[in-house]
Amino acid sequence: MAESNTDTKSSNQMWGGRFASDPDAIMEEINASIGFDKKLFAQDIRGSIAHATMLAHQGIISAEDKDKIVHGLNTILSEIEGGNFEFSRRLEDIHMNIEARLATLIGPAAGRLHTARSRNDQVALDFRLWVKEELQKTEQMLTGLIAAFLDRAEEHAESVMPGFTHLQTAQPVTFGHHCMAYVEMFGRDRSRVRHAIEHLDESPIGAAALAGTGYPIDRHMTAKALGFREPTRNSIDTVSDRDFAIEFLAIAAITGMHLSRLAEEIVIWSTPQFGFIRLSDAFSTGSSIMPQKKNPDAAELVRAKTGRINGSLIALLTIMKGLPLAYSKDMQEDKEQVFDAAESLELAIAAMTGMVRDMTVNTARMKAAAGSGFSTATDLADWLVREAGLPFRDAHHVTGRAVALAESKGCDLAELPLADLQAIHSAITDKVYDVLTVEASVASRKSFGGTAPSEVRKQIAFWRARN
Ligand code: ARG
C-alpha cells in the first residue's frame, strides 16, 4: 500500500509532492550525481547568494529572509571546506544537498531560495562557472609552458640539430627554432582558451526551467554579481546548451594532441640511439630489472592522457547529439567527462613544463647528427643556382650525383675532394665548401619564420612581448 511521504525526509523532499513512494534503490543509484557534482559546491553557493540577493533587491523575498539565506549558505561553505558536511545520495545532487542543509540551518526561509529558478538553470550556472575557472587556470598553465620553451629557445638559438621530415634527416635547423614551433602550437591553444572564455561569459541563471519566469527578476544584476559579461539571451538554449563544456574538451583534445607529439619527440630524443636530450632524474624512472635504464615514463603518460581526453570529447558529443531541446537528464553525464579531462590536462601540462625546464640538451650529439645524412644537399643545389646560374631542377640533379658519390665513398658532402665535385659539374669552385657546413646552412635561412639564429631571435622577442 502506498504511503504518503510529504512529511518524511525522503529523497523526494524537494520534489516529492506528487509521489506516493520512495524511488527504487537502483533508481536512486542511476539518478544520483552527488558523487561527482559535489565538486561544484563553491559555484553553487556563489550562484545562490547572487540569486537570493537579487530576489531581495527586486522585492521578491524579504531582506530578512535573504540575510538568513546568505548567512546559512556561508555556514555551509565553511562546513564543506572544513570537511564537516555529510553528502547524501538520497538528496541526488549538490543543489539539493545544499538546499536541504540550508533548511535544517535556517528553517522555512530556505524554501524561498528556489523562487524564480530551477535546477536546470542552476546546474548550467554552476558548471559554466567551474569551466570558466578551469579555462583561466589552463590559460595560466599554458603561459608557463610557453615561458619554459622561450627560455630553452633563447639558450639554444644557435644550437644546430637535424630537422626531420618523415623522421628522416631533412635539413639542419636550430634547436631554438624547433622549440619555437611548440611555442606557436601552445600559443594557438592559449588563444583558443581565450576565445572559449569569451564565448561562455554569459550568465544562465534566471532562464529557470526553460521558459523564463513571471517573477520580476533582474538577470543583468545576477550576471554582473557573478562576473559574467551579460545574461544569456534565450532561456530554452540556456538550459540545453553544453557547448561551453564541449569547447573546453575540444581545446583540451587539441592541446593534448600537441603535448603528445612533444612527448613522442622526448621519447625518441632520449633514447641512447638519438641521445639528443637527457631527462632529469626528477622526470624519469628506472627499471626494476635493468639497472642501466632510465625511462621517460612521464612523457609516455602525457602521450597516453591524450587518449582519455579524446574519449571524453567524443563521449560528451555523443551524449548531446540526440537530445531534443531543452534539458534532458542525459546532460548530467557532462560533468565527469570534463572533470576527468581537466585533471588529465593539468597534469600533462605541468609534467611537460617540468620536463622542458629540466632536460639536458646534448648539443654535440645534435650537431653531429645534423651533419649526417647529407643534410646540406639542398644548400649545394641552392649554391649551384645562385653562383653558377643553373636552373634549380638541373642543380637538384647535379647534387643528387654528388650525394650518390659521397654515399659510395662513405663520406659526407663536405668531405668530397674538389676534383670529384668538379668532375660532376665544372662550375663548382672551392667556395662551395662555405655552404656545406651545418652552421652556414642554418645561418643562410633568413626568410621570415626561417631557422637562421637571427630570425629565431626575432620570433623569441615577438613571443616574449606577448607572454
Ligand atoms: N543533477 C542534475 C544535473 O547534473 C541537475 C539538474 C536536474 N534537473 C532536473 N530537471 N532533473 O544535470
The CA distance from 49 to 61, in Å, is: 13
Centre of ligand 1 to C-alpha 119, Å, is: 6
Co-location of 127 and 35 in the same domain: no
Closest ligand 1 atom to the C-alpha of 127? 4
Grid-cell match 612527448, residue found: 263
pLDDT per residue as tens digits for the range 87-132? 999 999 999 999 999 999 999 999 999 999 999 999 999 999 999 9
407 inside domain: yes
Which residue owns the Cα nearest ligand 1 atom 2?
A: 332
Q: Is 260 a catalytic residue?
A: no
* pTM for this prediction: 0.92
End of a domain among 331, 362, 393?
362
Find the helix or strand (DSSP H, E) in which 230 lies: strand 230-231
Cell of 462: 615577438
6 inside domain: no
Closest ligand 1 atom to the C-alpha of 331? 12
Beta bridge partners of 411: none
Q: Is 287 a catalytic residue?
A: yes
Co-location of 278 and 294 in the same domain: yes
Co-location of 338 and 458 in the same domain: no
25 inside domain: no
Co-location of 298 and 414 in the same domain: no
What range defines the domain where residue 152 resides? 120-162+174-362
pLDDT of residue 10: 52
pLDDT of residue 288: 76
14 inside domain: no
Write the single-letter amino acid at 355: M
Give per-residue burial for 372-381: e unless 16+ CB within 10 Å, then b: ebbbbbbbbb
Total number of domains constituting the chain: 3
Co-location of 219 and 322 in the same domain: yes
The CA distance from 137 to 342, in Å, is: 10
Co-location of 348 and 403 in the same domain: no
CA angle in degrees (0–180, nearest 5) for 284-287-290 = 135
Cell of 254: 587539441
Which residue owns the Cα nearest ligand 1 atom 3?
A: 332
Identify the CATH number of the domain in which residue 245 sits.
1.20.200.10
Centre of ligand 1 to C-alpha 337, Å, is: 16
Which residues are near ligand 1 (CB < 6 Å)? 33, 37, 93, 119-120, 123, 327, 329, 331-332
pLDDT of residue 309: 98
Co-location of 382 and 350 in the same domain: no
Co-location of 151 and 87 in the same domain: no
**Contacts by residues 294-299 (CB-CB < 8 Å, ≥ 24 positions apart):** 294/270, 296/266, 296/267, 296/270, 298/351, 298/354, 298/355, 299/262, 299/263, 299/264, 299/266, 299/267, 299/270, 299/351, 299/355
pLDDT of residue 7: 44
168 inside domain: no
> Which is nearest to 173 in space by CA: 466, 427, 449, 458?
449
Question: Ligand 1 pocket check: which of 15, 34, 120 to mutate, most ligand atoms within 8 Å of Cβ?
Answer: 120
Residue segments in the chain with a per-residue pLDDT below the cut of 70: 1-12
Centre of ligand 1 to C-alpha 330, Å, is: 9
Co-location of 144 and 51 in the same domain: no
Which residue owns the Cα nearest ligand 1 atom 12?
A: 332
Co-location of 436 and 287 in the same domain: no
- Name the active-site residue from 62, 287, 328, 372: 287
Give per-residue burial for 430-461: e unless 16+ CB within 10 Å, then b: eebbebbbbebbbbbbeeeeebbbebbbebbe
Which residue owns the Cα nearest ligand 1 atom 7?
A: 119
Identify the CATH number of the domain in which residue 95 sits.
1.10.275.10
Co-location of 389 and 316 in the same domain: no
End of a domain among 311, 330, 362?
362
Phi, psi of 13 (to 5 degrees): -60, -20
End of a domain among 310, 328, 362?
362
Question: Ligand 1 pocket check: which of 87, 210, 332, 335 to mutate, most ligand atoms within 8 Å of Cβ?
Answer: 332
Co-location of 314 and 377 in the same domain: no
12 inside domain: no
18 inside domain: no
Identify the CATH number of the domain in which residue 409 sits.
1.10.40.30
376 inside domain: yes
Centre of ligand 1 to C-alpha 326, Å, is: 12
